[in-house]
Structure 1
Amino acid sequence: MSEAFGFREFGGPQVQDFFDRPDPVPSPAEVLIRVTVAAVNPLDHKLRSGVVPQFYGDRPFPQVFGAEAAGVVLAVGADVEGLDVGDTVFGCTLSGAGTYAGTTVLLGTNTARKPEGLRDDWAATIPVAGTSALNAVDQLDLPSGATILVNGVGGGVGLLTAQVARDRGLHVIGTGSTAKRTLAEAVGATFVDYTEGQVVARVRELAPDGVDGVVDLVGGASLRTVAPLVRDPKKVVSVADPAVAELGGEMVHRRVDRADLERVAALMVEGRLDPYIVRTYPLSQAPEALALVESGHALGKVVIDLTGGTASEG
C-alpha cells in the first residue's frame, strides 16, 4: 500500500485527491518500482480533463497522475529482459498506472537502467519530455546549419528540444512569453517574445527566406501563426495539436523505447543536455506542482520528490 495523488472522475482540479492504493502487480511485460521522483507534464492535466479517456482502458477510478518516473526495481515481470530487482531505473507507464505514487509499474521495454552520474530527478524527465524532444528533432532530420523554430521554447520539452537541436549544429529560434527569455537564451535560442506581437515579422527578420523546420509545443492559433514560416510544410512537427495535419505537417512520431531513453541519458551525463528543473515539490504538494504546469507559466521542468524531501527551487 502506498499514497498516491490522482482523480476520481474526469474534470478540473476539483476532482483531484490523495488516496492509498495497493502496490500494482506487474504484468509479465512490466516492472514494479519504488518511485523516487515523478516528473510533471501538461499531459497529466489533459488526461484528467478526459481528452483521451481510452488511455486508461478498463482501469477503474480513481486514476493516478503521471507518466514518467525514476525509482528502484522491486519486482520484474517474467518477460522483461535486461532489468533486475534492485536496479535504479527510469521509464514510463503506458498502462495508466500513474507515477505520482509511492510505487508503480513501468513497461519493461520503456524502462532503462540509470547510468552512473545521472541524478534521479534528471532521469525522471527523460521518458516523456526528453524523448519527445529527441523524437521531434530526429523526425525533422535537418542538416547542420539549418534553422529550426521551437514554438513554446520555455517549457520542459521546449528547452530540451532547443538543446538537442543546438547539439546537432542547428540555429534555434524560440518563441515564448517574456518570462521565458532568460532560460531560452541560456540554451542558445534566439528568443522571440510573442507577448510583444509581430511574431511573424520578427522571425522573418531573423530568417528572411523562412525556417527549415518547426517543432510546435503549443498548438491552436499559435501553431497556425508560425506554420507558414517554414519553407516545406512537411517540416512542421507538433507535440501538441493533431490539427497540424491540416497544415501539411505531422504529429511527432513517439518512440519511448530503451534505446532512446539511453540516448537522452547519455547526453545528460556528457553535459550536453540539461532538463532545467526549476521546482521540486514533495508528494504532499503535488496539487501545487500540477497547478503550476497547468497554468502554462512553468519555466523548465517541475518534478515531485517521493523520498520525503521538501519543496525547493533549481
Structure 2
Amino acid sequence: MRAISYRSFGGPEVLEYGECEDPKVGPDSVLVRVCAAGVNPVDWKCREGGLDRLLDAVFPVIPGWDVSGVVTQPGVSVTEFAVGDEVVGYVREDMLSRGTCAEYVAAPVRTLARKPRNMSFAQAAGLPLTGLTAYQVLTRALRIREGEVLLVHAAAGGVGSAAVQLALHLGARVIGTASPANHDWLRALGAEPVDYAEDLGEQVRELTGDGVDAVFDTVGGATLRRSEALLPAEGRLVSIADPEVVGLGGRYVFVRPDAEDLRRLGEFVEDGVLSVRVAETFPLERTAEAHRRSQEGHTRGKLVVTVDWGEADLGGAD
C-alpha cells in the first residue's frame, strides 16, 4: 500500500511518500480503506519526538490517529462491523507505528464508530480527536453544568470549536479566546470572543462582571497562567497542552479512544448539535505540507489529508 512514513524524528522533510507493508488485521480489528485522515498538532509533535517519553516509536512510523473510511475486512472475532460499513475512528495505540496517513489501516474496534450520515469523509476525519477531547474534558474533567461560565482558549481551532458547541449544548455560557479575524466566526457558533492579549482578565470581567467557573486550556504557557486568576477557589482548570496545570491546582487531560463516546459524538452531528469545519484538504502525498500548515497555527477548523479512490465523496469546507 502507499503511505506516508518517517524513519527518524525531525521536521516535515523526514516524511516520505511510498510503499509500506500492508497492515495485518488482528482478531479484534478491522481493515479500513482510508478515505481521509485528520491532521492534528499532536501528529507533528510526535514526528519531532515530543512524545518520545510517553510512546515508543517503531520505525518506520506512519503518522496520524484520525481516520474515516470503509471497512474491507473484519477480524475473525469482530461482530460490530461488516464489509462496506462507513466508519470513523481515533486509532491510537500505545506506540507510534501504524497510523492513518495511508491507504489502509488496521483499526481496533474499540477505536471506531459508524460515520455520521450527514458528514463527508473529509468532515468525519476531523471529528475523532477533537470531538473526543472536547467531550471528555467537558463531561468528565470539568463536569460543566447548565448556567456556568466557561472560558475556552483557542476557541476557533479544532478542539476549541468542538468545545464551544458542546458546552453550549450543555447549557453553559462560553467565552472564547481567538485572534480578531476569528471573532465573527466564534459569534456565529454562539461564543463571546476575547483576544489573547495580556489584559485577558479585564476583557473577561467586562463580559461577566467577575471571573468564570471553569477554564478549558488548549494553549498552555502564559495563557494558562493568566487563566488561574479568573477562577474562584472552587473553579476548575483543565489543560490539554501544558502539564504545568497540575501545579496550578488543575488537571492535565490526554484524550483516549472510546467507541461509545465517538458514537455519541456521531449522534450530536446527526442532530445538528456539532459540526466540523474543514479548513483545507491535502492529498496523501502532500502530508508534509499539511504538517507545515498545522505548525503555523491559527487554523480555523480542521486540516485533512485525503486518499483519492475515485468513487468516495470527500466533500469540502462547510
* Same fold by TM-score greater than 0.5: yes
Shift of 1:116: 2.9
- 3-state DSSP class of the match of 2:279? strand
- 3-state DSSP class of the match of 1:302? strand
1:181-192 to 2 correspondences below 5 Å: 181-192=183-194
Q: 2:81 aligns with which of 80, 83, 99?
A: 83
Aligned to 1:217: 218
- Given the two structures, how large is their TM-score scaled by the length of structure 1? 0.92
Shift of 1:213: 0.6
Given that 1:279 and 1:311 are in contact with CA atoms closer than 8 Å, whether structure 2 keeps it comes out as: no
Aligned to 1:202: 203
302-311 vs 81-90, which deviates more? 302-311
CA distance, structure 2, for counterparts of residue 239 and residue 160 of structure 1: 14
Given that 2:213 and 2:235 are in contact with CA atoms closer than 8 Å, whether structure 1 keeps it comes out as: no
1:12-91 to 2 correspondences below 5 Å: 12-53=11-52, 57=56, 59=58, 61-91=59-89
User: RMSD of the alignment, in Å?
Assistant: 2.1
Aligned to 2:177: 175
Shift of 1:155: 0.6
Q: 5+ unaligned residues in a row in structure 2: which ranges?
A: none
Given that 2:65 and 2:92 are in contact with CA atoms closer than 8 Å, whether structure 1 keeps it comes out as: yes
> Which deviations, in whole Å up to 9, do the C-alpha atoms of 1:109-139 show, x marking residues without a partner?
1111224333222221222111111111102
Shift of 1:92: 2.0
CA distance, structure 2, for counterparts of residue 145 and residue 248 of structure 1: 23
Shift of 1:106: 1.4
> Which deviations, in whole Å up to 9, do the C-alpha atoms of 1:266-304 show, x marking residues without a partner?
111111111111212211322222211111121111111
Shift of 1:6: 2.6
Is the alpha carbon distance of 1:284 and 1:213 closer, same or farther for their aligned partners in structure 2, counting shifts above 3 Å?
Answer: same
- Given the two structures, how large is their TM-score scaled by the length of structure 2? 0.91
1:1-314 to 2 correspondences below 5 Å: 2-53=1-52, 57=56, 59=58, 61-95=59-93, 96=96, 97-139=98-140, 140-194=142-196, 196-232=197-233, 235-252=236-253, 254-307=255-308, 314=318
Q: Which amino acid aligns with 2:68?
A: A
Identity across matched positions, percent:
37
- 3-state DSSP class of the match of 1:91? strand
How many residue pairs end up in the alignment? 311
Q: 5+ unaligned residues in a row in structure 1: which ranges?
A: none
Is the alpha carbon distance of 1:26 and 1:55 closer, same or farther for their aligned partners in structure 2, counting shifts above 3 Å?
Answer: farther
Shift of 1:252: 2.5
Is the alpha carbon distance of 1:3 and 1:253 closer, same or farther for their aligned partners in structure 2, counting shifts above 3 Å?
Answer: closer
CA distance, structure 1, for counterparts of residue 118 and residue 126 of structure 2: 15
- 3-state DSSP class of the match of 2:281? strand
Given that 1:81 and 1:108 are in contact with CA atoms closer than 8 Å, whether structure 2 keeps it comes out as: no
CA distance, structure 2, for counterparts of residue 312 and residue 138 of structure 1: 30
177-186 vs 100-109, which deviates more? 177-186
Q: Decide which structure has greater helix share.
A: 1
Is the alpha carbon distance of 1:253 and 1:47 closer, same or farther for their aligned partners in structure 2, counting shifts above 3 Å?
Answer: closer
Given that 2:284 and 2:305 are in contact with CA atoms closer than 8 Å, whether structure 1 keeps it comes out as: yes
Structure with bigger RCO (C-alpha 8 Å, 6+ apart): 2
CA distance, structure 2, for counterparts of residue 115 and residue 301 of structure 1: 17
